[in-house]
Structure 1
Amino acid sequence: MEPMGTHLRRREGLGGEPEERPSGEGNTETHRAPDLVQWTRHMEAVKMQLLEQAQEKLVELLDRAIWEAIQSHPPQDRPLPSPHPAPLSKTQKPSFGRRKVFVVRKSLLELVLEFDLLIFSFGQLPLALVTWVPMFLATLLAPYQALRLWARPRAGGAWMLRAVLGCVLLAAHAAVLCVLPIHVAVKHELPPASRCILVFEQVRLLMKSYSFLREAVPGTLRARGCEGIWAPSFSSYLYFLFCPTLIYRETYPRTPSVRWNYVAKNFAQALGCVLYACFILGRLCVPIFANMSREPFSTRALLLSIMHATLPGIFMLLLIFFAFLHCWLNAFAEMLRFGDRMFYRDWWNSTSFSNYYRTWNVVVHDWLYSYVYQDGLWLLGGRGRGAAMLGVFLVSAVVHEYIFCFVLGFFYPVMLMLFLVIGGLLNFTMNDRHTGPAWNVLMWTLLFLGQGIQVSLYCQEWYARRHCPLPQTTFWGLLTPRSWSCHA
Structure 2
Amino acid sequence: MEPKAARLRRGEGLRGEQEDRPSAEGNSEKDRGLDLVQWTRHMEAVKMQLLEQAQGPLMELLDRAMWEAVQSYPPQGGPPPSAPPDSSSKAREPSLGKRKIFIIRKSLLELMLEFDLLIFSFGQLPLALMTWVPMFLSTLLVPYQALRLWARPRAGGAWTLGVGLGCVLLAAHNAVLCVLPVHVALKYQLPPASRCVLVFEQVRLLMKSYSFLREAVPGALCARVGDGKQAPSFSSYLYFLFCPTLIYRKTYPRTPNVRWNYVAKNFAQALGCVLYACFILSRLCVPVFANMSREPFSTRALVLSIMHATLPGIFMLLLIFFAFLHCWLNAFAEMLRFGDRMFYRDWWNSTSFSNYYRTWNVVVHDWLYSYVYQDGLWLLGGRARGAAMLGVFLVSAVVHEYIFCFVLGFFYPVMLILFLVIGGLMNFMMHDRHTGPAWNVLMWTMLFLGQGIQVSLYCQEWYARRHCPLPQTTFWGLVTPRSWSCHT
TM over 0.5: yes
Shift of the 405–214 alpha-carbon distance from structure 1 to 2, 3 Å rule, reads same
Query: In the alignment, which residue of structure 2 is the partner of 1:139?
Result: 139
CA distance in 1, matches of 2:409, 2:59: 49
Query: In the alignment, which residue of structure 2 is the partner of 1:404?
Result: 404
Cα displacement (A) at 1:221: 1.8
| Conserved? CA contact 2:59–2:87, under 8 Å | no
Query: In the alignment, which residue of structure 1 is the partner of 2:341?
Result: 341
Cα displacement (A) at 1:222: 2.3
CA distance in 2, matches of 1:125, 1:324: 19
CA shift digits 1:153-211 (9 cap, x unpaired) = 11111111111100011001000000010111111111111100100000000000000
CA shift digits 1:407-440 (9 cap, x unpaired) = 1111111100000000000000000010000000
Q: Secondary structure at the match of 2:201?
A: helix
Query: In the alignment, which residue of structure 1 is the partner of 2:37?
Result: none
| Conserved? CA contact 2:63–2:85, under 8 Å | no
| 1:57-456 correspondence runs (5 A) | 63=64, 66=66, 69-82=69-82, 84=84, 96=92, 102-226=102-226, 230-456=230-456
Cα displacement (A) at 1:278: 0.7
Query: In the alignment, which residue of structure 2 is the partner of 1:15?
Result: none
CA distance in 1, matches of 2:349, 2:327: 21
* Larger helix fraction of residues: 2
CA distance in 1, matches of 2:58, 2:394: 62
CA distance in 1, matches of 2:228, 2:404: 46
Q: Which amino acid aligns with 1:216?
A: A
CA distance in 1, matches of 2:105, 2:388: 64
CA distance in 1, matches of 2:59, 2:434: 57
Cα displacement (A) at 1:106: 1.5
CA distance in 1, matches of 2:59, 2:295: 33
Q: Which amino acid aligns with 2:76?
A: Q
Query: In the alignment, which residue of structure 2 is the partner of 1:35?
Result: none
Q: Secondary structure at the match of 1:432?
A: coil
| Conserved? CA contact 1:153–1:227, under 8 Å | no
| Conserved? CA contact 1:151–1:229, under 8 Å | no
Cα displacement (A) at 1:104: 1.5
| Conserved? CA contact 2:397–2:416, under 8 Å | yes
CA distance in 1, matches of 2:226, 2:478: 55
TM-score by length of 2: 0.84
Cα displacement (A) at 1:269: 0.7
Q: Secondary structure at the match of 2:160?
A: helix
Shift of the 387–67 alpha-carbon distance from structure 1 to 2, 3 Å rule, reads farther
Q: Which amino acid aligns with 1:75?
A: P
Query: In the alignment, which residue of structure 2 is the partner of 1:477?
Result: 477
CA distance in 2, matches of 1:394, 1:441: 27
Cα displacement (A) at 1:72: 3.8
Query: In the alignment, which residue of structure 2 is the partner of 1:28?
Result: none
CA shift digits 1:305-343 (9 cap, x unpaired) = 111111111011001000000010001001111010000
Shift of the 85–479 alpha-carbon distance from structure 1 to 2, 3 Å rule, reads farther
CA distance in 2, matches of 1:175, 1:62: 69
Cα displacement (A) at 1:105: 2.0
CA distance in 1, matches of 2:417, 2:61: 53
Cα displacement (A) at 1:487: 1.2
Q: Secondary structure at the match of 2:224?
A: coil
Shift of the 230–71 alpha-carbon distance from structure 1 to 2, 3 Å rule, reads same
| Conserved? CA contact 2:128–2:198, under 8 Å | yes
| Greater displacement, 155-164 / 106-115 | 106-115
Q: Secondary structure at the match of 1:232?
A: coil
CA distance in 1, matches of 2:325, 2:430: 25
| Conserved? CA contact 2:223–2:231, under 8 Å | no
| Conserved? CA contact 1:412–1:479, under 8 Å | yes
Shift of the 390–227 alpha-carbon distance from structure 1 to 2, 3 Å rule, reads closer
| Greater displacement, 346-355 / 286-295 | 286-295
Shift of the 376–56 alpha-carbon distance from structure 1 to 2, 3 Å rule, reads farther
CA distance in 2, matches of 1:465, 1:56: 54
Q: Secondary structure at the match of 1:129?
A: helix
Q: Which amino acid aligns with 1:130?
A: M
Q: Which amino acid aligns with 2:456?
A: S
CA distance in 2, matches of 1:346, 1:432: 15
Q: Which amino acid aligns with 1:78?
A: G
CA distance in 1, matches of 2:480, 2:223: 53
Query: In the alignment, which residue of structure 2 is the partner of 1:30?
Result: none
| Conserved? CA contact 1:285–1:309, under 8 Å | yes
Q: Which amino acid aligns with 1:81?
A: P
Q: Which amino acid aligns with 1:449?
A: L
Query: In the alignment, which residue of structure 2 is the partner of 1:462?
Result: 462
Shift of the 471–72 alpha-carbon distance from structure 1 to 2, 3 Å rule, reads farther
Q: Secondary structure at the match of 2:425?
A: helix
Q: Secondary structure at the match of 1:75?
A: coil
Shift of the 319–227 alpha-carbon distance from structure 1 to 2, 3 Å rule, reads closer
CA distance in 1, matches of 2:69, 2:376: 64
Shift of the 113–283 alpha-carbon distance from structure 1 to 2, 3 Å rule, reads same
Percent identity of the aligned residues?
85
For the aligned residue pairs, the C-alpha RMSD in angstroms reads 2.7
Cα displacement (A) at 1:114: 1.1
Q: Secondary structure at the match of 1:440?
A: helix
Cα displacement (A) at 1:109: 2.7
| Conserved? CA contact 2:59–2:91, under 8 Å | no
CA distance in 2, matches of 1:250, 1:414: 40
Q: Which amino acid aligns with 1:140?
A: L
Cα displacement (A) at 1:96: 3.7
Flag structure 1 segments of 5+ consecutive residues without an equivalent.
Answer: 1-47
Query: In the alignment, which residue of structure 1 is the partner of 2:39?
Result: none
Shift of the 264–286 alpha-carbon distance from structure 1 to 2, 3 Å rule, reads same
Number of residue pairs matched by the alignment:
436
CA distance in 2, matches of 1:215, 1:57: 81
Q: Secondary structure at the match of 1:270?
A: helix
| Conserved? CA contact 2:222–2:229, under 8 Å | no
Q: Which amino acid aligns with 1:210?
A: Y
Shift of the 330–62 alpha-carbon distance from structure 1 to 2, 3 Å rule, reads farther
Query: In the alignment, which residue of structure 1 is the partner of 2:15?
Result: none
